[in-house]
């Protein structure tokens, strides 16, 4: 076959190389300690708790350079530790080093007993309680809010409803237009969920299992994420640091909490199926979310190669909010690359901090 010209010696070299890598890798893995793959290394204190939701306050590493604390609202999907994956890949640590007082909401692991929790509970209940706690602790009227992915959607809804408590809003890799057409970057998730029978799903399953969601995400790139990643894993077996990073990432990916049934139902019906976010028709409890109500400064950060939340979806925000102080910033990575890419971690935290300082 002319298109494939494998030389026997080359192939045998590759095979021998792999054999050596496997031997070394097994040795490294056999001696790997749980502490080495710990996720979320930055010290924190749980300063507030309501039901299973906890509010973490991270210990400042430098004396106060900024006065307004920043609250991070992560998605309900996967764990918020993605922003503090490891010491040299930690958005939280980098923000602390730049003098920001950081708080983060940990949504916990919803069980069957939490299946009735609604989006209203999350937004007007949990987020609001955390915001109030921080305001009271710092004796401030307003704080800064950073929402990531689905957590960005919730943070944006919160801001539209409670703008009197928020000074600046930062959104990262946040979907806004849920009915974009799929392109070469992504958009499949939107395409698949548009006609989904969400009621049937929730009525059958109660909560949406994290594993089911994970399977859906893997299916977006079935071969690359399901097979090729593990085929290529051989190449890091002889590199202890890279192997530890790989294992840590695996640990994070498959640590997926279930989604509270009613919140999942409401989120998917209102956003994915009916695309109400950009229509100003989302209802949180009895209140309508009108993005035009957001008039505070907004920084919208997106990943140029994001296959889960394509740039087209994120960029729709600018057309729909009322703010005249709107900034967009992108990075040449994918959805997760935003947190794990070394290059992005060098430039993303200063981007956020400088933007905030200009608005203090």
Partner 1 sequence: MFEDASRQWQSLLETGWSQWQQQLTQAMQGFGQKEPSWAAGVLKQAESAQRVWLSAMQTFANQATDFLERVKSPKDFPVAFAGYQEALSKQFTDAASKLHVNLKDHNALWEDFLSHYKAFQGMGNDFFESYKAPSQGFTAPNNPEEWMQSGIRFMQHLFDQAGGKTFDAPGLGMMRNYTHLVGQSMKAFREEKEAEQVYQKLVAKTWASVVAQMTKTVWERGQEGKPITSLRELSRVWAGVTDEVFMDVFKTDEYVQKQLNYLNASFCFRQTKRALNEVLLEAYDLPTLTQVDDLIERVYTLRKVVRAAERGRATAEKEVQLLKKQVSEQAEALAGIQAQLRLIQFQETGANGQVEPMVPPKKRTTRKPKSGLS
List residues near partner 1 by CB under 8 A.
1-8, 10-12, 14-15, 18-19, 22-23, 25-26, 29-32, 34, 37, 112-113, 115-117, 182, 184, 188, 191-192, 194-197, 200-201, 203-206, 220-224, 226-234, 247, 250-251, 254
Q: How far is the CB of 30 from partner 1 (least distance, A)?
A: 5
Show Cβ contacts of residue 286 under 8 Å, excluding neighbours closer than 6 positions.
none
Q: Which helix (H) or strand (E) holds 243?
A: helix 240-253
Of 209, 203, 325, the residue nearest 269 (C-alpha): 203
Q: How far is the CB of 133 from partner 1 (least distance, A)?
A: 14
Identity of the residue, 25 or 175, whose beta carbon is nearer to partner 1 in the bound complex: 25
Q: What is the rounded CA–CA span in Å between residue 288 and residue 36?
A: 46
Q: How far is the CB of 213 from partner 1 (least distance, A)?
A: 13
Q: What is the rounded CA–CA span in Å between residue 195 and residue 190?
A: 9
Identity of the residue, 167 or 237, whose beta carbon is nearer to partner 1 in the bound complex: 237
Identity of the residue, 203 or 325, whose beta carbon is nearer to partner 1 in the bound complex: 203
CB < 8 Å & 24+ apart, contacts of 343-348: 345/88, 345/89, 345/90, 345/91, 345/94, 348/91, 348/94, 348/301
Structure tokens at 347: 């430039």
Of 132, 136, 190, the residue nearest 145 (C-alpha): 132
Catalytic, 149? Answer: yes
Structure tokens at 229: 């990643």
Identity of the residue, 239 or 357, whose beta carbon is nearer to partner 1 in the bound complex: 239
Identity of the residue, 30 or 342, whose beta carbon is nearer to partner 1 in the bound complex: 30
CA 276 remoteness from chain centre? 21
In this structure, the number of other CB atoms found within 10 A of the CB of residue 292 comes to: 11
Q: What is the rounded CA–CA span in Å between residue 289 and residue 100?
A: 29
Q: How far is the CB of 51 from partner 1 (least distance, A)?
A: 9
Instruction: Give me the catalytic one of 130, 149, 157, 191.
Output: 149
Q: Which residue has the tokens 């998605």?
A: 75
Q: How far is the CB of 279 from partner 1 (least distance, A)?
A: 23
Identity of the residue, 188 or 283, whose beta carbon is nearer to partner 1 in the bound complex: 188
Q: What is the rounded CA–CA span in Å between residue 70 and residue 168?
A: 9
Q: How far is the CB of 269 from partner 1 (least distance, A)?
A: 15
- Which positions are catalytic? 149
């Amino acid at each position: 076959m002319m298109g494939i010209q494998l030389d026997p010696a080359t192939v045998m070299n590759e095979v021998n190389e792999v054999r050596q890598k496997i031997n070394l890798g097994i040795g490294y893995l056999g001696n790997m300690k749980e502490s080495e793959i710990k996720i979320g290394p930055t010290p924190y204190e749980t300063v507030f708790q309501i039901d299973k939701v906890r509010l973490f306050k991270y210990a400042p590493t430098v004396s106060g350079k900024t006065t307004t604390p920043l609250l991070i609202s992560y998605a309900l999907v996967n764990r918020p530790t993605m922003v503090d994956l490891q010491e040299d890949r930690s958005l939280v640590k980098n923000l602390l080093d730049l003098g920001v007082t950081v708080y983060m909401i940990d949504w916990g692991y919803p069980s069957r007993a939490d299946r009735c929790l609604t989006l209203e509970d999350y937004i007007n209940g949990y987020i609001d309680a955390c915001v109030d706690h921080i305001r009271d602790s710092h004796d401030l009227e307003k704080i800064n809010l950073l929402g990531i992915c689905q957590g960005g959607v919730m943070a944006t809804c919160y801001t539209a409803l409670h703008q009197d408590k928020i000074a600046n809003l930062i959104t990262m890799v946040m979907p806004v237009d849920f009915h974009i057409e799929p392109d070469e970057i992504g958009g499949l998730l939107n395409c698949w969920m548009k006609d989904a029978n969400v009621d049937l799903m929730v009525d059958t399953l109660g909560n949406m299992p994290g594993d089911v969601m994970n399977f859906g995400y893997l299916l977006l790139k079935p071969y690359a994420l399901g097979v090729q990643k593990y085929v290529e894993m051989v190449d890091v077996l002889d590199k202890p640091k890279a192997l530890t990073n790989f294992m840590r990432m695996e640990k994070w990916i498959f640590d997926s909490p279930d989604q509270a049934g009613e919140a999942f139902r409401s989120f998917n019906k209102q956003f994915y199926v009916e695309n109400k976010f950009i229509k100003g028709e989302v209802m949180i409890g009895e209140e309508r979310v009108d993005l035009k109500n957001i008039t505070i400064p907004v920084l919208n950060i997106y990943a140029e190669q994001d296959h889960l939340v394509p740039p087209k979806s994120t960029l729709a925000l600018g057309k729909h909010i009322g703010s005249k102080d709107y900034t967009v910033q992108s990075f040449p990575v994918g959805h997760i690359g935003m947190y794990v890419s070394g290059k992005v971690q060098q430039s993303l935290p200063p981007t956020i901090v400088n933007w905030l300082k200009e608005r203090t």
